[in-house]
Structure 1
Amino acid sequence: MEWMKKFRSSKGFTASEMADKLGISKSLYEKIEYDDRQPSRNFMERFKKAFPDFDMNIFFAK
């Protein structure tokens, strides 16, 4: 998910920092960012809690 990398970079976070902010492992975060794994509902809930103003519809766009 290229947009996730751009979003993370725009916030000034490393992958490790983003994973910490979401309360997940760096490995899981990177798998989702590199599109090796689809985000779970739990991941999306954590993302929305960490970034409440973010438009979550991007998760469903292909």
Structure 2
Amino acid sequence: MTFEEFLAGKKIDENQFRQNEPIRYHSWKAEFEQLHPESFTTQKKFLINEVRRKYQVR
């Protein structure tokens, strides 16, 4: 699973996220590539919800 697929599965608009918060986007992408998706989700659970509310797929 790629980071882009992960974001789509979480209903997060990747383009908006990348454009509006490039530092967080690239940081998360680097972490995601080193962790299992479930471990990443567990670590970022509440932050993922915050990002999803900001950059919801429409």
TM-score by length of 2: 0.40
Report 1 or 2 for greater relative contact order, CA contacts < 8 Å, sequence distance ≥ 6: 2
